[in-house]
Amino acid sequence: MQKKILVVLPTYSERENISILLPLILGMSPPVSVLCVNDYADDGSEELLQTLREKYSNLLVKSRKSKEGVASALLLGMQYGNAMKYDWVICMDADLSHTFQDLVTIVNCVNKDQTKEQIIIGSRYTLGGSVQNVPCYRKVISQYGNFFGRLAIGCQIKDVTSGFRAYSVSALSEILQGSFSGKGYGFQLQIIKELVVRKLAVNEIPITYVNRIHGKSKLSAKILLETFWTAVTLFVKRFI
């Protein structure tokens, strides 16, 4: 049975990538809706989104006048999907690190009722998952980040920092009752904490994570420190 699906794409200075990715998603059959939450950057991405919106009726654009960050963009998209009663909301990166092929797999899984879980995580570290063309230092950071994240939350989910996730409307309505202060990966950890506390059913499916070709990574020391602090805070709260 075909589901009503919303794909949420946070975008900031991603013109080259969304010019490739968006036509693929917007041309899917059966169709899905896409919400781009675009933080303004002087790279022509806003103009491209407005042009695409005139061509595709299933594209929604939320334009923001400054860089407000990926966490607030994801939260806005999740809240919109919940309010508009989509069956599933899928969050993914816009830089082509999350592949269109893996999105198709998740959408097919949802539409064909092949999953009874309430959340699907596109996992780099479950059996069959992989990481391609990513510098060694980033692999180490990611693996240690996941180790400490699992320890902090107290869960067995293998990829707690993955941003490629699908949420059923029943899961969203519960998760959004939580409070979120984290940015970037810290936000992803807080979401995992909510679904673990609420005992929501999770399915990890393997994905291939590909290092971006166009544009610059948004990863910074500030993001890493914030993520570490979020993990420490979650660990302490487990025992209070």
pLDDT of 142 reads: 87
Q: What is the pLDDT of residues 8-41, one digit of tens each?
A: 999 999 999 999 999 999 999 999 999 999 998 8
Compute the Cα dihedral for 18, 49, 161, 4 and give only its sign. negative
Residue 216 phi/psi, 5° resolution? -110, 145
Enclosing H/E stretch for 171: helix 169-175
User: Strand 59-64's sheet: what is its strand order?
Assistant: 59-64, 33-39, 5-11, 88-91, 165-168, 119-123, 202-206
What is the reported pLDDT for 1?
67
pTM, rounded to two decimals: 0.91
User: How confident is the model at residue 223, as a pLDDT?
Assistant: 66
Q: Report the pLDDT value the prediction gives residue 135, as an integer from 0 to 100.
A: 87
The Cα–Cα gap between 133 and 5 comes to 30
Q: What is the pLDDT of residue 36?
A: 97
Cβ–Cβ < 8 Å for 196, 154: yes
* Residue 156 Ramachandran class (φ > 0 left, ψ -120 to 50 alpha, else beta): alpha
Give the model's pLDDT for residue 115. 61
**pLDDT below 70 — which residues of the chain?**
1, 113-116, 215-221, 223-224, 240
Cα dist. 210→30, 115, 133, 214 in Å? 26, 25, 6, 12
From the centroid of its chain, how far is CA 207? 13
Q: What is the CATH number of domain 5-238?
A: 3.90.550.10
The dihedral through the CA atoms of 124, 125, 127, 131 has a sign that is positive
Return the closest-CA partner of residue 38 out of 60, 16, 7, 5: 60
Domain spans, the chain: 5-238
Q: Are 77 and 176 in contact (CB under 8 A)?
A: no
Alpha carbon of 59 to those of 32, 55, 234: distances in Å? 9, 9, 36
